[in-house]
Structure 1
Amino acid sequence: MKKLSLIAMMAIAALSFQACKGGGKSGSTDSTGAVKDTADSVNKVKDTTTTGVTGIAVDKDDAKFATSAANGGMAEVAVGELASQKAINAKVKEFAAMMVTDHGKANAELMEIAKKKNITLPTEPDTDHQKMKADLAAKSASDFDKAYVDAMVDGHKKTISMFEDFVKNGKDADLKAFAEKTLPTIKGHLAEIEAIKKGMK
């Protein structure tokens, strides 16, 4: 019975993920949307010695990196879409559009790896990231740009640290290659947003 409910849960997550991948840019969520904690819980009970429906082809820490990277990447896209519409500063708007493009591409690459390894990824950003987006959305037009830029500087510093740690300590070759390939882009984002922040003072 436990095995059956796990398979059903994974099927729902997979369907939600496909809907999220192909669906529009709406920020709405539904009852089947899985966040990071749910994905981590599903991955935790998978057998690491086998692959297929019940098995997972990576170490638990590697799976956690994948869920964290997916969570952050989806949040970057969601907040980037908001900033593309709401930002006043032209450079901030350009940066936001770049976030949607670059993180959207990285998310798709990570999704392909996860599919091969049978890693369940979140289908929407976690509560903290959703709250951050809601807080930004509530900002007045004049306050939005600074708040978004500050969030991007902070977020990219944390993401760089997470990716660098995984490049050193991760075990799965495909996930490590993804982290190594993506890291220079994230560092480029940080340099760019820091330059924008400096220019806004």
Structure 2
Amino acid sequence: MKTTIYLNNTLWFSVVVGCLIMFGFISCNHRYPRPDESFSNIYQAKETTLDHIALENDKEFLVNVAEIDLEEIKLGQLAQHNSQQYEVRVLGKMMEVLHYKSLKNIKAIAKKKSISIPTALSNHAIDTYGKLNKESKSDFDFAFCNIMVLSNKDAIDSLEKVLVESNDLDMIQWANLMLPALRSNLNQAITCKRNAKSSSLRY
């Protein structure tokens, strides 16, 4: 009799423990996502964040370059009108043509990415143009060439950064296309600046 009671108690104990284990297993599965599902969600969230950051970086760069292009076109036109030296007027024309071409490519890339870029001069560009336009005939060439040296150096640094950091093929191709011309213009601007300084010292 005691043996029967002991066996019955043991059986009930086993059933209860089994139910508790099964309930715990079901609860854990219900409460926590599977490892593969959790990893997939984290990966997708990370990819979305990286894509957003890349788009914001591209937007900032395209807006900045568009502002530079608009400014360089305007200053190049001013140099062709105000400069006393032939080589400076040639440099002005080179800047106008190059940055007009750059702006055209930038607009195409921005449109493809649904990014709005400036279509008018920034306040900084308007201020620079106004100050340069007020320069005397003897001082204009040096002032213009100095601006071109600085702006070309900044543009080259920006494009080299694109080649290192960007994964966008359109922007990489554009940077590779622009860099040789910008380096050539930089050398021309340095030469013009040196000659303009020597010329001003003679007067």
Alignment TM-score, normalising by the size of structure 2? 0.68
Alignment partner of 2:187 out of 171, 185, 191: 191
Q: Which aligned pairs between 1:20-169 and structure 2 lie closer than 5 A?
A: 59-169=55-165
Aligned length: 148
Unmatched tracts of structure 1, length 5 or more: 1-48, 50-55
Amino acid at match of 2:100: G
Cα distance in 2 for partners of 1:183, 1:78 equals: 21
Cα distance in 2 for partners of 1:130, 1:118 equals: 27
Cα distance in 2 for partners of 1:79, 1:104 equals: 12
Q: Which has the larger radius of gyration?
A: 2
In the alignment, what sits opposite 2:177? 181
Unmatched tracts of structure 2, length 5 or more: 1-47, 199-203
Kindly indicate whether the alpha-carbon contact (under 8 Å) linking 1:84 and 1:96 is maintained by their aligned counterparts in 2. yes
Percent identity reads 27
Q: Deviations over 1:37-69 (max 9, x none)?
A: xxxxxxxxxxxx7xxxxxx9x611011111111
Cα distance in 1 for partners of 2:146, 2:93 equals: 17
Kindly indicate whether the alpha-carbon contact (under 8 Å) linking 2:141 and 2:193 is maintained by their aligned counterparts in 1. no
Cα distance in 1 for partners of 2:179, 2:82 equals: 28
Cα distance in 1 for partners of 2:58, 2:119 equals: 18
Cα distance in 1 for partners of 2:120, 2:176 equals: 24
Amino acid at match of 1:139: E
Amino acid at match of 1:98: M
Coordinate RMSD, CA, aligned? 1.9
Decide which structure has greater helix share. Answer: 2
| Aligned-residue offset at 1:125 | 2.5
In the alignment, what sits opposite 2:30? none
